Structure 1
Amino acid sequence: MTIQTTDPTRKLMRSRSDSWLGGVCGGLARRFGIDATLVRVLFVLSILLPGPQVLLYLVLWLIIPREPVPGTVAPIAYPPAV
């Protein structure tokens, strides 16, 4: 019997189905179990404050992996050779 320690639906990935620009807000909403519209509204409101919000969004767009296409098999991640 195998015990799964992580829920694959709760893994942080950019959303394909709930994406407006890069899928970052949709992915964050899915990961934390909140409405994607709320995440988008909070992000837009945060742009009114001083800070690097747009730069942060772009960095997250680059480092968060894209959700796989439904029906495809994810590549096997082999452990590094020792």
Structure 2
Amino acid sequence: MSKYDPNNAVRPTSTKSFQLDRADGKIAGVCGGIAKYFGINPLIVRLVFLVGAVAGFGSFILIYLAIWLLAN
């Protein structure tokens, strides 16, 4: 039976963190930050938020505001 050795523990090589993209952002940088985090086109994220805001009776607007306020 082997004992746990913290020196041989597997550690992640890089950490991924979410940040607002204020440089390329249109309003607050939320959609740009989400797009950078997932590596997709910011236009797609903006369209998803637009459709969600219209179809979801404004719930995506609240989500957007929450992300804006909680993100760095």
What TM-score results when the alignment is normalised by the length of structure 2?
Answer: 0.73
CA deviation map 1:21-43 (0-9, x unaligned): 00000000000000001100111
Q: Equivalents in 2 of 1:20, 1:5: separation in Å?
A: 28
The corresponding residue for 2:29 is 23
Superposition RMSD in Å: 1.5
Specify which structure has the bigger relative contact order, considering alpha-carbon pairs within 8 angstroms and separated by 6 or more residues: 1
Q: Which runs of 4+ in 1 moved over 3 A?
A: none
Query: How far does residue 45 in structure 1 lie from its aligned partner after superposition?
Result: 1.0
Q: Equivalents in 2 of 1:35, 1:5: separation in Å?
A: 22
Letter in 2 for 1:29: A
Number of matched residues? 60
The corresponding residue for 1:58 is 65
Q: Equivalents in 1 of 2:17, 2:56: separation in Å?
A: 30
Q: Does residue 23 of structure 2 align to residue 49 of structure 1?
A: no
Query: How far does residue 50 in structure 1 lie from its aligned partner after superposition?
Result: 2.5
Structure 2 unaligned regions, length at least 5: 1-11
What TM-score results when the alignment is normalised by the length of structure 1?
Answer: 0.65
